[in-house]
Amino acid sequence: MIEESKMKKAFKRLAKLGYGLAGPAAALGIVFAVSHTVDAAAADAKKPAVSAPKVPTKYEPVSQSMAELLDGGTVVSGTADDGGGNVYVANANKLYVCSWSRPNPGLINGGTTSQCYALN
């Protein structure tokens, strides 16, 4: 970091040589500004990362089928492939996650089963 007193001395020397605020003096000012920006970024990098606390989460089985939850709720997120998937459903102030599997993807129903849990 360039100290302010050194900056003033540099500007005075440049003024004696006939340079105004343009040219080398302006470049020196840019270097000064950049050095302060780099110092601030380095200080931020030294701060420890903040993470959310780990809170116990309930993961309780529910008796409703995935179809019932989907009919009465809103899909928040989901993933799927030929073998099954997961879907998150918001319903009645609760969030549910349902996982399904298809052991025989080539068949129309393929023996599909699902399990749903409340996450509240």
| Average pLDDT of the segment spanning 74-87 | 90
114 contacts: CB under 8 Å, gap ≥ 6: 65, 66, 98, 99, 100, 101
Q: Is the pLDDT of residue 120 over 50?
A: yes
CA distance linking residue 116 with residue 120, whole number of Å: 13
Consecutive H or E run containing 61: strand 60-61
Q: Sort residue 111 into left (φ over 0), alpha (ψ -120 to 50) or beta.
A: left
- pLDDT tens, position by position, 8-40: 666 566 566 555 555 544 444 444 444 555 566
Contact 90, 28 (CB under 8 A): no
Task: State if pTM tops 0.75.
Answer: no
Amino acid at residue number 15: A
| Average pLDDT of the segment spanning 65-82 | 90
Q: Is the pLDDT of residue 51 over 70?
A: yes
Identify the DSSP state of 48.
P
Q: Sort residue 23 into left (φ over 0), alpha (ψ -120 to 50) or beta.
A: left
Q: Is the pLDDT of residue 77 over 60?
A: yes
| Average pLDDT of the segment spanning 52-70 | 91
| Average pLDDT of the segment spanning 37-64 | 79
